[in-house]
Every structure is written in structure tokens, then in C-alpha cells.
Amino acid sequence: MDIPSTLKRLDDLLHACRLDEAETFLCEAIQTAKVSGDTDAEKTLLNEQMGFYRDCGRFPEMLDTAAKARTLFEQQGETDSIAYGTTLLNCANAYRAAGAFDQAFSAYETVQELYDKLLPQSDGRIASLWNNLALLYQETGQWEQACRCLEQALILVRQYAGDATRTAISCTNLAVSLLRLHRVADALAYLKEADGILAGRTPSDFHYSATLAGFGDAYYQLGKYETAAAYYEKALPEIELHMGQNNFYAIVSDNLAQTYEKLGIERPRLSGLELCRRFYEAFGAPVLERSFGDILPKLAIGLAGEGSECLGYDDELSQDHDFGPGFCIWVPDDLPEERVQALKAAYAALPKSYLGIRRLEMPEADGRVGVCTIGGFFRRLLGLPGIPRNEEEWLSVDESMLAAACSGAIFRDDSGIMTTPRRKLGLGYPKAVWLRRLAQALGRMAQCGQYNFIRMRRRGDPATAQLYLGTFCQNAMTAAHLLRGVYAPYEKWLLRSTAELEGFRDMAAQINELLLLPPQRETDLDEETDLACVYIRGICETIGKETAMANAMEQPENAYLADTAKALGVKAEAMETHLADVEKIVRLEWETFDKVQNIGGRAACQDDWETFSIMRRSQYLPWDEALLKQWIAVFEQALSEGRNLITEKYARMMESTHPKEYAKIKDQLPPVSPEFVQLREAIIAIQIPWMEEFAAQYPNLASRARIIHTEDDSPWETSYETYLRGELTVYSFEVLYGYGRWIVSLHQQGENLSRMILEETVHEYGYATLEEAELNGYCP
């Protein structure tokens, strides 16, 4: 028999915690060895079986295996060998576990005689003998003797063995004995040494559960019951993972119960999200920090997606499926596959339960926890590799899936790979898409509630009327979420979520009452007094009023929401036209920018479309639409004439940043009239104070922007003033005049264009407000 291969297969099954398969495999292997007459293999496997049954708390089977192992050696006259000494040590451990202490002492004594005679004193097996003998002293209450044995073992493993696991075992065992002698400080020192060796291994070492339980005992003695409970809670899943709910599991469970009794509380029931956070902190974080420290800064860990716990709506009923300890490890799409598989293996080796809760996974819940790529997460929920990029994509995604993608919490994300796109997504729909969605919801409210519900009632069709009523209510709640900039969750939680929206609690109560009204069969109804019609009218008034406030519209009395929906559609169309024009000028600039020849060669920014597009879109989004169209026409005319206005813009800036080089090319630039210069400088005189005001109010953001004044220019840094002067100089006089009139109107209204532009910029980077971006200190 190939013993190394057999033992490797057994170890694989045990590390995977497939205990039933491991037992079957072991029994079959022993029988094969016995039939083939391979007694050496049989002896080895009997020793393995003895330890297996001991760890599982199956003492009758364990003792039967011990007897078979001893008999095999004795029948062959091999009782004066190291192999017999090791087998007898395992037998002694079995006797000890079964409570046959006299028999255990006798066996340990014989083992010591054999080891003294046959092994050098530095051999690690002698340390194992001291460790196991100490356990017997512990179980018979002889704590001083136990400490002496363990001190001897620790000296040996530290000095000769070089085996960190043995050191940890000896430290833990010594700590347990010291605690019995109330030497808590000494015990904690040894436990911390053991923890430093065993914590975060993947798969975890089954000895680690004893270390964790030891911490619990230590802090219990110190009266730090909350800390003790936390360690006991962490020890239990480790015990169950490796040994099942055995005798040790029962002991630790009893200790935990006594600890909660001391605290005067029952075992806490955490929310699903908090349960998962603590599970990650207890088991996930140590593994990732120990085994994946090289890629940990590239990962994001948390819990998000479908599931009531991600929305914070879980209750006792939620625990019947797809609920329990678990978390997501989101990885970059380009992470090497071997590292992804290693992460998956490490996650699979984590305990399956925590705080008494075992995760019950359903087939449809696949992918909700575990290792997932960033792109895979968004594709599963949104059908897209990331957040939507255009109106078509935004409108293609179910709103409840957007809510799911923003749900839950991120526990760790050093690089922002998950936080950044979720933050952007959390800002809500782009304005034009928002208008379309809101118009759609209001249109359905009008069609289903204000019109067809009443029509079906009068037609004597209450069943269809109820269908329309449900659709009306769902669209009213969707509209409420849109008006608060919050994605509506799936139907199960829609009413609850609506009640939590600011200003919509009363409307949610009205919807609740409306849905509970019994269907009416009377065809002759009075809309003014019919209770369902009264509720519908009140709900429509609420949504109509909120819509008018959000869009600076007048709200006609008793307005039909279909008219409001049409007005929103008109606004959306105008906004879509503006966005298309902004995109057009930005694309024109980018194509032209690509052809700019710099003094020092091609600039890095000429290959960075993402940053360029964000900055330039932010520049043009606040513009008046008529002015924007005028500028596009001028830009296109210049291109048709072979002029590169972006090249001219940068050339104009060189008058301040590179005056010598500018002197060589200035005659090649179109002349500028005194009237043009006068108008340009008047505009600059208005805009510079705006930027100064912005910089004073938002110093963090301003520190990432250009210096403000031309007087501070250098060959390496171009100021805001110089850049603005260069940009304005390439406008036609008509565009500059229109731009100037617009700037003056903003000034008269108390607006600040610098602020308006930077608001668009930070929004593109996922911040709702300038204040939020300033606080986070990030805006490229």
C-alpha cells in the first residue's frame, strides 16, 4: 500500500472537514492493508483511526482501535521499538480521553522508558510525550506537575524541534495549567505567543480552538466577560469545523453560557450585516492578512447585493434560507487566476457557523458570498460590467437591482475598487434619466389610479380594478423613492422603505390602508366620497406637490398626473439635447487635443480620455444651451479651415509660461482686437474672484487644482487665470460676447461658476456634494 498517498488523501478530507468521507476512507484502507498482509501500513492507519475517533469524541470506537493496535505489535514481538512507543503514546492519549487515568499513567510511563532508551533527548517525540502527559495531569487536577511537564516540552520544541505548531500547542497547554493556578498574566503571555503562530492559517489548525478557548478562560478570570464571550464564540466554530460538536464543544458552550449569565444577558441576536462583519473580523481578516498580504490592498471585503440583511431588513423569519455568517471578497477582474483560486480555497476552509448560526445556502443564492470579481458582481446584478455609462444602460436596469448593488457595507477596501463605483452609483440616476423614470411612474399612476381603477369599478370589474390599484400603489412608491434620490428595493420591502423616506410616512400609511380596503362591486360610485378614490387623490396630491417642488414647477390644483409626466418628458428631452451637445464638443476637443504638438513631446494627459472627458464635461454642463451650440458651430468651422483651436489655446498660454518660445510663434496666431481683449479681461476680472472664493471655502479641493494667478506662472505650472485667458482667446468675438453676457447674469444672480463646474466634477467622481469631497480630500 502506498502509505504517503493514503495519508495525503486522508489529510485532504480532514482539512476539508469531510469527516464522514474521511472515516469511510480510513476504514476501507485499514481493511485493505489487513487483507493484503501489510502490517506496517495497518499499524500506521490504526494510529490515524485512533486519533480520528478521539478528536470526534467517539470513545468506544477509539478504545477498540487502541486494543487492535497494541495487539498487532504484541503478536509480532515488537514492543521494544520506537514505533510501539509512539503507538502506545497514542493509546495513552485515548485512555486519558476516555477517563481511564490509571491505564493512561501506566502507558505514559512505558513510553517514557522506551523513549529514554531509544531516542536522543532532542527528539521532538519526547516533547510530544511531555505535552500529552501534562494533559493527563491537568485532567487529574495535578496542575503543578502539568506545568513542569509543559515547561520541559516547551524548552525542547523551542530549542530543537523548530516546529512552530508544536510550540503553539505547548504554549496553549501551559497556559491552561497556569490558569488553574490563577497565574493569568503568565497564561496570557503564552496564549498570545500561540495566537501569533496559529491565527490566520488557511486552513486553520484544529489546535487553534484550544488557544481561543484558553483566551476565554483567561478573560473570564479577569472579569472581562464581554471579551471572554467573544473568544468562546470564536472557539466554538473552530471546534465544530474540525471535530464536530464533541465533548470539548460542550465544555466551551457551557463556559459561554456561564459568561452570558455573568453579563446578565442572553446570547445576542445580531443583524445579518453585523453578524457577517464580526465573522469577517474573527476569521476572514486574519486569513487574508496572513496569507494574502501581497494582494490585500487590491481587494475589497464586505457584504452587498440581494438579501434582506443587506438592506437591514432581516428578522427571525429571514434565517430560514440564505442567511448566516459569510462575506464577499471582491477582486480586480485581472487578478491572476491562481490567486483567485487560492482565495476561494481559503474562503471554503472557513468555519460554517458563527454565534450559533449556520449559513443555509440555497441554489439561487450562488455568488452572494465568497470570492467574486468586481465586474462579476455588477454583471450579476445589473447585467453590465460596471455602473451604467449612458441613458440606455441606466434605463435597462431594474431599479431594485440598483438598490441591491448599493446595499450592505464594505468592511475593507484600501484601493477603493468597490467603494468608488458604489459611491458613484449611490448618487442616483443622472438627471435626464431621473426625469424619464419619474415621468414614467407618474404616467402609470395617472393611467392606473386616476383613470382605469375608477373605470373598471364602474364597468363592474373589481378584479381588474384591484390589479390597477396595485400597479398604482407600486408606482406611487417608486415615485417617492425617485423624489428622495433613493433606489426603490424589490416589492417585498417597498412599502417599508417608502415609510422610511423623509416626508412619506403618511403617504405610506395611506397606501397601506388603501391596499387593505375590501374590493367594491358597486358600479355607481361617488369619486368625492368613495374611500379608495379619496386615498388615491391624496396620494396623487402628495406626489404632485413633491414633484413640483423638486423641479421648480407650478402644481395645478387637482392636477392630472399624466400632464405632469408630459412636462417632465419635455424637460428630459431638453436636457438630453444639452448632454448630447456637451458630449459633442468634448469629443471634438479630444480629437483636436490628440493632434497638439508640445514642446517636450506628447503629454500623458493626451492619452487619458477618462480624466479629460470628466474635466471638460464639467466645464460645459453649466453652459447655456444656445451659447453651447454657437461654440460648437465655431469650433467645427475652425476645423474645416484647418485650424486647431486647442493648439492655439495652449500657444496663447505660453505668453506667460514660456515667453521666449511665445515670441517665436505669436505672429502665426490670429490677431486679437483691443475690443476683444477688453471684453476678455472684464470676464476674467469676474471669474478670478469666484475661484478665490472657492479656494477659501474648499482648501482641500483647491490644493488639487491649478494655482490661481498669472503672476505665479512658471514653465512647469500654468495658473487658472492664464489657462482661462488662453481658452477665452480662441473664442470668436460673438461667442465671447455671449459668454460674457452669461457670466454677468450669473454674477447678478449671486452664482459662482467655479463652484458650479467643480460641483459637476466631484459628482463625476462619485461625491454628492463639494462638502463631501472636501471632507474625503479626494478629487483629481
Question: Quick one: which of 137, 208, 232, 222 has its CA closest to 179?
Answer: 222
Same domain? For 445 and 352 the reply is: no
| pLDDT given at position 364 | 46
Residue at 299 is within a domain: yes
Residue at 236 is within a domain: no
Residue at 44 is within a domain: no
Span 489-518, average pLDDT = 96
Same domain? For 377 and 439 the reply is: no
**pLDDT > 70? residue 777:** no
CATH number at 451 reads: 1.20.120
Residue at 291 is within a domain: yes
The answer to whether the peptide bond before residue 203 is cis (omega within 30 degrees of 0) is: yes
Coil vs helix vs strand at 517 = coil
Same domain? For 406 and 450 the reply is: no
From 538, 570, 602, the end of a domain falls on 570
Residue at 36 is within a domain: no
pLDDT bracket for residue 307 (50, 70, 90): confident
pLDDT bracket for residue 720 (50, 70, 90): very high
Same domain? For 645 and 736 the reply is: yes
Same domain? For 341 and 381 the reply is: yes
Span 707-715, average pLDDT = 92
Same domain? For 455 and 550 the reply is: yes
Burial of 424 (0-12, 13-18, 19+ CB in 10 A): middle
Percent above pLDDT 70 for the chain: 97
pLDDT bracket for residue 318 (50, 70, 90): low
Q: Which range is least confidently modeled, 355-364, 557-566, 623-632?
A: 355-364
| pLDDT given at position 487 | 97
Same domain? For 338 and 445 the reply is: no
| pLDDT given at position 362 | 55
Span 608-624, average pLDDT = 94
Span 263-275, average pLDDT = 91
Coil vs helix vs strand at 370 = strand
Q: How many CB atoms lie within 10 A of CB 200?
A: 21
- How many domains, in total, are found in the chain? 3
pLDDT bracket for residue 366 (50, 70, 90): low
C-alpha dihedral over 30, 31, 36, 39, to 10 degrees?
Answer: 40
Residue at 760 is within a domain: yes
| pLDDT given at position 161 | 53
Would you say the C-alpha torsion 673, 679, 681, 687 has a positive or negative sign? negative
Same domain? For 391 and 482 the reply is: no
Same domain? For 469 and 439 the reply is: yes
Span 150-172, average pLDDT = 84
From 399, 425, 451, the end of a domain falls on 425
From 425, 449, 481, the end of a domain falls on 425
Q: How far apart are CA 498 and CA 402, in angstroms?
A: 16
| pLDDT given at position 365 | 46
Same domain? For 452 and 373 the reply is: no
Span 74-98, average pLDDT = 91
**pLDDT > 80? residue 321:** no
**pLDDT > 70? residue 244:** yes
Task: Check residues 18 and 334 and name the one with the higher pLDDT.
Answer: 334
Residue at 328 is within a domain: yes
Q: What is the pLDDT of residues 213-236, one digit of tens each?
A: 999 999 999 999 999 999 999 999
- Whether the CB-CB separation of 585 and 631 falls below 8 Å is answered with yes
Span 332-355, average pLDDT = 94
Same domain? For 416 and 287 the reply is: yes
What angle, 0 to 180 degrees and rounded to 10, lies between the N-to-C axes of helices 645-657 and 561-593? 70
Which residues, other chains included, contact 535 with Cβ-Cβ below 8 Å and sequence gap of 6+?
A: 510, 511, 513, 514, 517
Task: Check residues 705 and 418 and name the one with the higher pLDDT.
Answer: 418
Span 459-463, average pLDDT = 93
Query: In DSSP terms, which residues pair with 329 in a beta bridge?
Result: 301, 371
Coil vs helix vs strand at 89 = helix
**pLDDT > 70? residue 245:** yes
Phi/psi at 293 (5° precision): -60, -30
pTM of the model: 0.79
Percent above pLDDT 90 for the chain: 76
Same domain? For 421 and 285 the reply is: yes
Q: How far apart are CA 700 and CA 690, in angstroms?
A: 16
Which residues, other chains included, contact 665 with Cβ-Cβ below 8 Å and sequence gap of 6+?
A: 651, 654
| pLDDT given at position 120 | 87
387: containing domain = 280-425
Q: How far apart are CA 209 and CA 475, in angstroms?
A: 53
Span 725-749, average pLDDT = 96
Residue at 84 is within a domain: no
